[in-house]
Amino acid sequence: MQDKISTSHDVALDIGRKIDAGEWPDGFRVPAERELAITYRLARNTIRRALRELDSRLVRIVGRGTFVKGNPAGRAREFVGRLRDASPTDIMEVRLIMEPQAAALAAHRASTAELAEIETILRKSIAAKGTAEFEHWDAALHLAIFRATNNALLIDYCEAINAARNQPHWYRLKQRSMTETLRRQYDQEHSAVVSALLQRDAEAARRLQLQHLNSVRDRLLTIDN
């Protein structure tokens, strides 16, 4: 504790530092006001004001006490790390929930320029030579659709999923599962989704994206078992 701590704001800053540093992790029970007053050598009403200043980072549970909500940035980094380590089964379950709805949203919100970019990426995906190049443009196509939602959180989600897809286990599955017939099937499914987007048919975009992801899941998980 620093000697200069003498106001409620100083206390709030010091507690915030403890949370950021992980000294008081998510779920940590905050000491009672009386204990904090002794620790900081300040009046309890000063401590009370400091805790009010930290309202967004603390949660009070009647009869139990006050607890740390945790560091949102830290939880975000943890989530990205967990995605990278997640199994293909878990990743596909999440994609099946999120991506069809994102496609429907993109059908409503995409600008003319965003639709043109999606068409360009689709053409590059279809023309790709080999699994590595196809996988690159496949990921880029899905990301372009997410960008067309104009929702920053959804875009962050897709970028995290693409990071997971770059992991060696995922790529080995793609290599083992990919055949010329399957590749052409994916091209057709991608083309159908893009066509629905160009027509701004949200329901068709949602349905066709769901069908495509079901195809991917069924093939990958058959290989993975």
Quote the CA–CA distance of 144 and 97 in Å, as a whole number. Answer: 18
Length of the chain: 225
Structure confidence at residue 1 (pLDDT): 47
d(CA 112, CA 106) in angstroms, rounded, equals 11
- 155: tokens are 């875009």
Q: Is the pLDDT of residue 147 over 80?
A: yes
Cα–Cα distance for residue pair 93/100, rounded to 1 Å: 12
Give the angle subtended at the CA of 172 by the CAs of 141 and 191, to the nearest 5°: 25
For the chain, which domains are there?
Answer: 8-70 (1.10.10.10), 75-224 (1.20.120.530)
How confident is the model over 163-181, as pLDDT tens digits?
777 777 777 777 787 888 9
- For residue 198, give the nearest of 121, 108, 98, 95 by alpha carbon: 108
Nearest CA to 186 out of 178, 197, 195 is that of: 178
The better pLDDT of the pair 181, 5 is held by 181
In tens, the pLDDT along 86-145 reads 778 888 899 999 999 999 999 999 999 999 999 999 999 999 998 888 988 999 999 999
Give pLDDT, residue 177.
Answer: 79
| Model pLDDT for residues 61-88, shown as the tens digit of each residue | 777 889 888 555 555 556 666 776 777 8
